[in-house]
Structure 1
């Protein structure tokens, strides 16, 4: 085989269309902030506990699930709140948390793989 017979293809192909659902710069920055919030094992577990509760959950029921202090849990919940994954409301001495469905939908859409169109 001579050098003339070798065809070099760019990685990823030169004609691969970019899907309409692909992230722009702002969306990528937003997504990175969400993934950064979820990259900590405690926060990921907190998110899982809150999302699986099927509604709101009192911090008094969340804290005993962990072997860390209450202030540490509060810090991690604050990070989840600031990333837009959960919201909360103080009722007396307790704070209740719930997942934000629109953010979870956005996250699952971001992670979904589009189905190829029928040929």
Structure 2
């Protein structure tokens, strides 16, 4: 029996009072079913989470979600306190990650938080107090 199996056997024995090979196999099979429920293509999910890890991008998506409406780039730039190019780059990253929608109207470009972005922010808000 390898070291991992020995540790699992000790855990099950501690929890259940007894453990045999069938108990270990059953536990592993049950956990493997959960792993099977993980979507096969998680790249977009991981990109969205990574994108939110940057202060500027997080602030922008928070601003857009809180505003609850489209905002022009000229409305975003003065309140995030970074350069125009940093705002532009951040908005591009947010768009690529599926966290903002964009619309061009003549020379103006408007951005709005997607449902995915607001859902992620809501989840963070909802769990903030419980994480202590």
What's the TM-score, normalizing by structure 2?
Answer: 0.63
Count of aligned positions: 102
Gaps of 5+ in 1: 1-6, 114-119
Residue 73 of structure 1 and its aligned partner are, at CA, apart by 0.4
Residue 96 of structure 1 and its aligned partner are, at CA, apart by 0.6
Structure having the higher Rg: 2
Aligned counterparts, 1:5-44, within 5 A:
8-9=10-11, 14=27, 15=30, 18=34, 22-26=37-41, 28-44=42-58
Residue 24 of structure 1 and its aligned partner are, at CA, apart by 1.8
Q: Alpha carbons of 1:68 and 1:39: their partners in 2 closer, same or farther (altered >3 Å)? A: same
Q: Residue 65 in 1 paired to residue 79 in 2? A: yes
Residue 108 of structure 1 and its aligned partner are, at CA, apart by 6.8
Q: Matched residue of 2:68: which SS?
A: coil
1:49 matched residue in structure 2: 63
Q: Distance in 2 between matches of 1:105 and 1:64?
A: 22
Q: Is the 8 A contact 2:65 2:118 kept in 1?
A: no
What's the TM-score, normalizing by structure 1?
Answer: 0.69
